[in-house]
Structure 1
Amino acid sequence: MTKKAKEDCVAPHNPFNDGSGHDAGFNWAQDNGVGCIGHSDSFNEGCEEYFRQLNQYNACLAVKNK
């Protein structure tokens, strides 16, 4: 795969980054890489957003590697 092809795939990035529950959930998922079972909806939503982005990134890389 060329460097350009990899650049077309966007790695997960925190869209919240504001100290909120969403931010905490996203960061927790990024650091721990496991399921989203927090005590608040916002934490869980941030965590789920990380995995949504990660799945998109991995799918992009898989297509680029073909």
Structure 2
Amino acid sequence: MLLARDMHLGELVAELNRYYRGVLRCDPSVASLAISGAFPVTDIPASLALLETTLPVRISRTTSWWITVQAR
């Protein structure tokens, strides 16, 4: 689990990217949003789904290996 406490979204995505086998990026327009919570590093899709439910962001999948977190 990755524990975030008042972390910027860009930092969280960068940390999650360490556990992802593809490319995981955060759009600069939402990178400064604050987030707190526990995110499973063994299930990146679940972690990204949590972001979509708690922040005004959407997950854009360019390919199965390239994911971007961007404004909704």
Instruction: Verify same fold: TM over 0.5.
Output: no
Q: Compare CA radii of gyration and give the structure with the larger one.
A: 1
TM-score by length of 2: 0.25
More relative contact order, 1 or 2 (CA 8 Å, 6+ apart): 1
TM-score by length of 1: 0.26
Q: 1 or 2, which has the higher strand percentage? A: 2
